[in-house]
Structures are given as structure tokens and as C-alpha cells.
Amino acid sequence: MWKGNLPREILSAGKRGYAASAPLPYPEGTEVVDCALGTNPLGMPPSAKRALEEGAGTDLCRYPSPEPEDLKLAIPSRYPSWRLCREQILVGSGSMGVLVNLLRLLLRPGTTFSGISPQFTDTVLQALYAGASYRPVILEGPQYRMDCDGILQALRESPAVFYLDRPNNPTGQVLPLRDVERIAARALDRGTWVISDEAYGDFIPDGESSACLEYPNLVTCRSFSKGLGLAGIRVGYAITRDPELAGLFRAVQPPFAVGTMDAALAAAALEDRDFLDRTRLYVEGAKKKTLDAIAGRPEWWAGETDGRVPILLLSQQSGDLPRRLARAGIACEPGEGFFHLDNRSARLRVPAPGKLEIFLERLARA
């Protein structure tokens, strides 16, 4: 009996996170073009590289601060249009760590977790592991176009949490801010929390972030992994206008959740506006070329997407699309890693600048 009562029911979710998908077979001797995980195609920001070099003498023997105060000052300074004070900023171990803590607070066994499907799988899984039931608004393929009225209809059921990844993962479409405001207002009337996960939020203007909206039931989560090019440091944060939620979050947050160097690198990345500008400019051009290439293939469809966001959902009528792309030397995220998708679909991220032309050539003959 030494194992105790392990919660084996979590296996009933029947799915793993998309990043845990089995590796695909690629042609031997072919250098794979990486269009899979959502890292920055331009790599790591120069400001973070400099901070890493300058921080070589940092005393890492000491524990980090309970909260990274310098970073909490840097965030409102970088985003003045959000009108934040430091108490409204909840920093954690990656945006995923922040989301886990939020779901721990906002869900109970038997409650309902809603959203738009397909969407970021791992947050849904964490809700299921917490004992919630998942009742999303299921988007219709092959366009998978989001509709605010459908979301408002779903809120009539008063779910405990409505989860909106914005930009959406895997489609890359962005629900307009005015629609987010309508959703937050309706959810407030229904006693529902809204989590706006802006992991890809740096690819849209600051003024379009849901962090601009001051609803007490709306929580915005942000990441340093995508537009800011620091997936390896595992720092994320949430913004809440509800003081009680902020206090509870700090109560359940494990101690020393963010390392000293991680916090310093994150703050340095916020200062490098030129890097983000260059990233946005490249992504927009590369995505247009990608969508143009797909439009020339009648057997493929790109779902509804925003040209500013580096990901898109590609689908075909039948067959295994991820394996088809792999045979051409292109890495993607298989559709089967998302709820309500299968491997007739794949998520693509625009490749690094040096690989774009090779990618387009391989896509043309896949």
C-alpha cells in the first residue's frame, strides 16, 4: 500500500500536451526546418545576451527574492497603456506555472471549465486534472473561425472559468479587444472568471492587449517565451484587478518561483524594443509568403488567422499531414496534440529567416 491512492483518473483525459508528441520520422541526412514549438524565429534578444554576460558574477548561492521586484517595476514601465501598479502583477515560473496556480484557485472538482476549441492543450489538461469538466465552444473546420456570439451563448451556462488563448493557439487568430470586453462583461454578470492567455500577445500592439481592460473577473497572462525570445528562462506573469485573487495567488505560489538570473534576463528583454520590432516585421512578411504558398495548393486549407502572429493551422481533407510535412523535412506540431483535431491538421510556426526560402521550397513539393 506504499503507493497510497494515486489519482489514476487523470489518465482518463486521454491526451498529452502537444509538445509531448512522439517524434516524426524525417529523411536521413536532411536538415529539418523547425516550424514546431512557438519560439522566436529570430532567436534570443541581444539585450538578454548582454545581461547574461554581465551577470556572470551574480551570487547564485543566495536564494532569489520572494517576488522579483525589479521585474515587477519594469513591466508597468514597458506597458504604460495598461495602467498597472505592482500589486496587480503576479509573476511565476513561466506562463504555464502561472496558469497552474490560477486554476488551482479558480476551479474545484465538479466545476465547469470552458473555452474555444481547438486551443492550447496543456491548460485544458490542467483543468481536467483539477477535476473540472471541459465544455468548450467547438470551432468548425477547416476555417475554425471564432465567433463572439457563440462565446456569449456558452456563458449562459455560467462556467467557473472561461479560457481564451488570444492569439489563439493553434490558429493564430485574434479576437478583437471589443469582443473580449463584451465577454468579460457578460462573464461578470454570470459569476465567471475569464483568463486571457496572451502567450503570443507580443505580436499584437500593446493597446490591443486584454490587460487594457479593467474588469475584476478578467485575468491576463503573458509570457517571455514567444515574441521576447526567452523560452528557456521560464518566467511568466498574470495581471489581475482583483486584490483578493492577487493575495490568494501569492499565498499558494511556491517560494522562490523565479530565479535571480531569470528575472534579470526577463527585465532586460523588456528594454529591447528594437528586437521585438524586428521580430514583428519579419513574422508579418514570412507569414504572408507562407499563406501565399498554401493558397496555391488546392488540397490544403489555412484556418482563420492573423497575419501578425507567427502560427497558423494547416489542414487537408484526408491523410496524415504531419508525416507528409516530415517527409519534406519540415517539423510541425501534429493536430492530434489538440482537442477536437486530428492529424489531418498541423500547426506551423514561421521558420527562422535563414530557413524561410528552403521552407517555402519544401512546402511547394510536400
**What letter would DSSP give residue 274?**
H
Distance, CA of 364 to chain centre: 28
Q: Which three cell numbers stand for residue 152?
A: 456569449
pLDDT of residue 57: 64
Q: How far apart are CA 155 and CA 169, in angstroms?
A: 21
pLDDT at 6: 76
Question: What gap in Å lies between CA 44 and CA 65, rounded to an integer?
Answer: 25
Task: Retrieve residue 221's grid coordinates.
Answer: 497572462
pLDDT at 128 over 90: yes
Helix (H) or strand (E) holding 128: helix 121-129
Contact 322, 6 (CB under 8 A): no
So what's the pLDDT on residue 56? 61
Q: What confidence score (pLDDT) does residue 52 get?
A: 87
Tell me how far apart the alpha carbons of residues 226 and 284 are, in angstroms, rounded to a whole number: 15
- Average pLDDT value for residue range 37-65: 89
Mean pLDDT to the nearest integer, 281-308: 96
With a cut of 80, say whether residue 276 has pLDDT above it: yes
Going by DSSP bridges, is the β-strand pair 112-117/137-138 parallel, antiparallel, or unpaired?
Answer: parallel
pLDDT of residue 12: 76
Using the CB atoms, write b or e for 319-342: b if 16+ within 10 Å. Answer: ebbbebbbbbbbbbbbbbbbbebe
Q: Return the pLDDT at 7.
A: 78
Under a CB-based contact definition with an 8 Å cutoff, are residues 352 and 34 in contact? yes
Residue tagged 506597458 (cell numbers): 79
What is the C-alpha to C-alpha distance for residues 146 and 175, in angstroms, rounded to an integer? 7
Confidence of residue 261 (pLDDT cuts 50, 70, 90): very high
The predicted pLDDT at position 1 comes to 57
Nearest to 159 by CA among 132, 125, 120: 132
Rg, the chain, Cα only: 20
Cis peptide bond upstream of 142, omega within 30: yes
Full-model pTM: 0.94
Answer positive or negative: Cα dihedral of 127, 129, 132, 137: positive
Q: What's the average model confidence in pLDDT over 128-151? A: 95
